[in-house]
Amino acid sequence: MKLSYMAMAALLLTGPAMASAASHPFNAHDLVMMQRLSDPQLSPDGSMAAFSLRQTDYAANKGATSIWVLDLNKPGEQPRKIMAGNSPHWSPDGNTLYFLSAKSGSMQLWSVAMHGSNPQQVSKLPLDINNYRLSPDGRHVLLSMDVFTDCKDIACTKARLDERDAQGRASAAGDRTLGAAAANKATGRLYTHLFVRHWDVWMNGRRSQLFIAALGTDGKLEGEPLWLTRGIHGDIPSKPEGDASEYTFSPDGKTVYFDTKVGGSSEAWTTNFNVYSVPADGSARPRDLTAKNPAWDGFPLVSPDGKTLYYLAQKTPGFESDRFAILARNLITGATHEVDTRWDRSAGALQISPDGKTLYTTADDDGNHALFAVNVASGKVSRLLSDGTVYGFDAVGDHILAARADFQHPADLYMLNAGGTNLKQVTRINAAQLADIRFSPAHWFTFKGWHGDTVHGYVIPPVNYVAGRKYPVAFLIHGGPQGAWNDEFHYRWNPEVYAGAGFAVVAVNFHGSTGYGQAFTDAISQHWGDRPLEDLQKGWAAALHKYPFLDAHRACALGASYGGYMVYWIAGVWNKPWKCLVDHDGVFDTRMMYYATDELWFEEHENGGPQYLHPAGYEKFNPLDHVKNWRVPMLVVHSNHDYRIPLSQGLGAFTALQRRGIPSEFLNFPDESHFVQKPQNSVQWHAIVLAWLKRWTSPQ
């Protein structure tokens, strides 16, 4: 039976209470109430761990993040909360912990003594700090802040923002007491180039730029920060997900290295990031070190002796999912070579051992996101932590602190040595919540997919599985498309939620997925509708053959982003197995998607070029052209602030369903982006999706 709105409201009101019910299958309330550990930081002597912890304020419908520390020399001791904030970093001498906090009303830099309990505000700047990095001697700090690049200083940016705010308030309220700004109630915004909007925000003319400031003897910022990247019309770090791993100091603190994609008319259709250097005293303009490579260069890291610059580089322009190789540049001669030539994985941000002989990084790898050590001399790569997903790590001396998760465990901290041995779990953040929850184990399987290649997938039985019975199936299709279903505790598409609701789960890492070699990832480009579809079809058949508890006659397919595209595609070309479909923020019309999305480089690479030059590439696998074959009931979900795949894509699909007379519903979140992240919205999303699945898979 369809879940009524009254029943759904009652369900939502019980959210936090349900999460603590004794011995129950995992559910969406449990999911949103889990504490989320991130950003592990190890003190220089290896005795203390710091991390950020996001806790859910369900009533306020948001998460609250705070800084915590743990004394690693006292086994059994519980972590200690410092205060609200994020981005912890230890000073080089280990005596002070720095972090960002908005306690003062804006995001500023704070600090606390290693064993202290009285944090002090380090900065009182007129703008929010995005992220930061301390100098090797601890006497300076790099700060990233959003500024108008035509301003002369940060005070100018603040004045301009205040003027805009005053004008906005006057326009909204019709108040002429706010000064000259009140006389102009016009609200138009004039743009001269892309981006107009990016990810989930409209561009306001500001760029993230790097500034450097001195730390005084009193531990507070001294004077006006020096603008180091003036003249660079790009974001440092990149948006929307960039962080401090995109800039760094040289070991002597005299040079700053950073990456950026210079803005301008081509910003929306290029992936050409470059690595720059700039004197830390601002005595010269930034210098482009990687101008010869038209693809992505980034994530710089300097060797301890200051002689080598390591960074990540791609080879294919316009392709954001090309393999990131590790490159080494001799800072004296400029000679550059690839370190990991025999490693067919795409590296993440780098750290280095004190002797400069080993680089540490993470990468997708056969259904995990693992931690690796790379020998810089030989290029040999070794797995250090390969089970589950490593969300972050910090390497100090012979010790590594890692945040690790898997299907049944949110992230916790683990210690291991630089050789990958002596693994020890040091936190159990969600132990109390997990004690009352029942999960179901994942079973990985392989089969021969497109081109005869081995393809991986997994099946998860329902939590209350009983041998000999058959169960309805949630067939999950991942997004990206250059992504993967990894062994992780996902906070949006967590397969254990479906298993907890009584469904078996089938998930396939089709061609295009990451972690199986670059050729496997590349195979999906310009083949969205055939090669991955063949993998999904063969994976479904293989799962049915191997796991007899899967009920082939009571199955629904679900996907988001590219997975949503695939749901629209199979609605027209492979709809026979499915009782229902769920599409979240999917691509319905590949033609209009090109002109409405924000990042054009993605569309151009995946479809063979711009739509106006290569229309056949966009029409080859366009779901819109197969609407006449749609027949399966579909739930469409789309959010207003999704500028990657705009709202009109979901509305268009729902219009098609309604006009065809196919049972369908449309779930809209006016306050979400490409992801549904607010706690109560997530619970509502799951309630409506699961109700839809149960409606169409219940025995007739």
Q: What is the CATH number of the domain that holds 561?
A: 3.40.50.1820
Q: Kindly state whether residue 433 falls inside one of the protein's structural domains.
A: no
Instruction: Output the pLDDT for position 8.
Output: 35
Query: HSE on the CB side for 378, CA within 13 Å?
Result: 5
Q: Kindly state whether residue 643 falls inside one of the protein's structural domains.
A: yes
Instruction: Output the pLDDT for position 174.
Output: 60
**CA dihedral over 554, 489, 385, 535, signed as positive or negative:** positive
- Name the phi and psi angles at 75, rounded to 5: -55, 135
Instruction: Output the pLDDT for position 101.
Output: 98
Task: Say what percent of the chain tops pLDDT 70.
Answer: 95
| pLDDT band for position 264 (cuts 50, 70, 90) | confident
Q: Kindly state whether residue 690 falls inside one of the protein's structural domains.
A: yes
Record the tokens describing residue 427, joined without a space: 């936190």
Domain count for the chain:
1
The C-alpha atoms of residue 514 and residue 94 are separated, in whole angstroms, by 38
The C-alpha atoms of residue 73 and residue 399 are separated, in whole angstroms, by 13
Residues listed for the chain = 700
| pLDDT band for position 263 (cuts 50, 70, 90) | confident
Q: Kindly state whether residue 614 falls inside one of the protein's structural domains.
A: yes
Q: Kindly state whether residue 347 falls inside one of the protein's structural domains.
A: no
388-420, pLDDT tens digit by residue? 999 999 999 999 999 999 999 999 999 999 999
Question: Which residue's entry shows tokens 């000679």?
Answer: 335
Question: Which residue's entry shows tokens 């770090």?
Answer: 237
Instruction: Output the pLDDT for position 15.
Output: 39
The C-alpha atoms of residue 213 and residue 140 are separated, in whole angstroms, by 6
Q: Which domain holds residue 616?
A: 438-697
| pLDDT band for position 117 (cuts 50, 70, 90) | confident
Q: Are 334 and 309 in contact, with CB atoms under 8 Å apart?
A: no
DSSP state of 335: -
* Cis omega (within 30 of 0) for bond into 354: no
Q: Kindly state whether residue 308 falls inside one of the protein's structural domains.
A: no
Pairing of strands 634-639, 580-584: parallel
* Alpha helices per DSSP H over 14-76: 15-19, 28-33
> What is the H or E stretch that residue 394 is in?
strand 389-396
Instruction: Output the pLDDT for position 19.
Output: 39
**Residue 477: partners with Cβ closer than 8 Å, 6 or more residues away:** 507, 508, 536, 557, 558, 559, 562, 563, 566, 567
Instruction: Output the pLDDT for position 10.
Output: 37
164-221, pLDDT tens digit by residue? 888 777 666 665 454 554 567 888 999 999 999 999 999 999 999 999 999 999 999 9
* Residue 556 confidence (pLDDT) above 60: yes
* Residue 633 confidence (pLDDT) above 90: yes
* Alpha helices per DSSP H over 368-517: 431-434, 495-500
The C-alpha atoms of residue 201 and residue 644 are separated, in whole angstroms, by 11
The C-alpha atoms of residue 348 and residue 329 are separated, in whole angstroms, by 18
Q: How many other C-beta atoms lie within 10 A of the C-beta of residue 271? A: 20
Q: How many other C-beta atoms lie within 10 A of the C-beta of residue 378? A: 11
Give the strands of the sheet with 634-639, arranged side by side: 443-448, 454-460, 504-509, 471-477, 550-560, 580-584, 634-639, 664-669
- Give Rg (Cα) of the chain: 26
- Name the phi and psi angles at 211, rounded to 5: -125, 155
- Name the phi and psi angles at 372, rounded to 5: -130, 155
Q: Kindly state whether residue 574 falls inside one of the protein's structural domains.
A: yes
The C-alpha atoms of residue 469 and residue 69 are separated, in whole angstroms, by 48
**Residue 125: partners with Cβ closer than 8 Å, 6 or more residues away:** 106, 108, 143, 145, 154, 221, 225
The C-alpha atoms of residue 241 and residue 218 are separated, in whole angstroms, by 33
| Cα end-to-end span (Å), the chain | 11
Per-residue pLDDT, averaged over 250-269, amounts to 95
Q: Kindly state whether residue 206 falls inside one of the protein's structural domains.
A: no
Instruction: Output the pLDDT for position 183.
Output: 60
Quote the mean pLDDT of the chain. 94
* Residue 431 confidence (pLDDT) above 80: yes
**Residue 463: partners with Cβ closer than 8 Å, 6 or more residues away:** 25, 26, 438, 439, 440, 499, 500, 502
Q: Are 144 and 208 in contact, with CB atoms under 8 Å apart?
A: yes
Work out the angle at residue 33's Cα, subtended by the Cα atoms of residues 475 and 642, and round it to the nearest 5 degrees: 60
Q: Which pTM does this prediction carry?
A: 0.95
Partners of 141 in the β-ladder: 134, 213
Question: Which residue's entry shows tokens 């006006």?
Answer: 224
Record the tokens describing residue 539, joined without a space: 């994976």
The C-alpha atoms of residue 382 and residue 402 are separated, in whole angstroms, by 16
